Amino acid sequence: LALLDQGEEFYARARATAKAFVQERYGLAKDPNARMFVFLGRWVKQKGVDYIADVAEWMLRNYPTAQLVMIGPVGDCYGSYARAKLESLKRTGLYTESLFVHADFLEV
């Protein structure tokens, strides 16, 4: 219960620390002002991974401080589509510091 009464400054520091950890761990640019979008779950139609894959390049190109982290196992053909599209985008080399893709289970 005491953790709930820490105040906004405590939570701001905790968020900044968590963001820095994710950026370091997954090879993203270390930017405290980055807008980080994280998808963690099964890559299936129900969760809209195909839509995320379709807008990823546009988002990263038009919002230079955006970072996208995609982690989880492929669960259907929509997930396969998303994996192919996101891995292809990663291979271009244009978004190496703003895109992390791991289409499988990941040990943390």
Q: What is the pTM of this model?
A: 0.88
Residue 65 tokens read as: 């401080």
**pLDDT classification of 3: cutoffs 50, 70, 90:** low
Instruction: Convert the pLDDT of each residue in 70-97 to its tens digit.
Output: 999 999 999 999 999 999 999 999 999 9
**pLDDT classification of 6: cutoffs 50, 70, 90:** confident
The C-alpha torsion from 18 through 55 and 29 to 94, rounded to 10°, is 160
Q: Identify the pLDDT of residue 7.
A: 82
Instruction: Convert the pLDDT of each residue in 38-76 to its tens digit.
Output: 999 999 999 999 999 999 999 999 999 999 999 999 999
Residue 93 tokens read as: 């080399």
Helices 77-91, 49-62: axis angle to 10 degrees equals 20
d(CA 74, CA 66): 24
Residues 70-94 as b/e (b if ≥16 CB within 10 A, e otherwise) read bbbebbbebbebbbebbeebbeeee
By mean pLDDT, which of 11-15, 21-25, 27-31, 47-51 is the weakest? Answer: 11-15
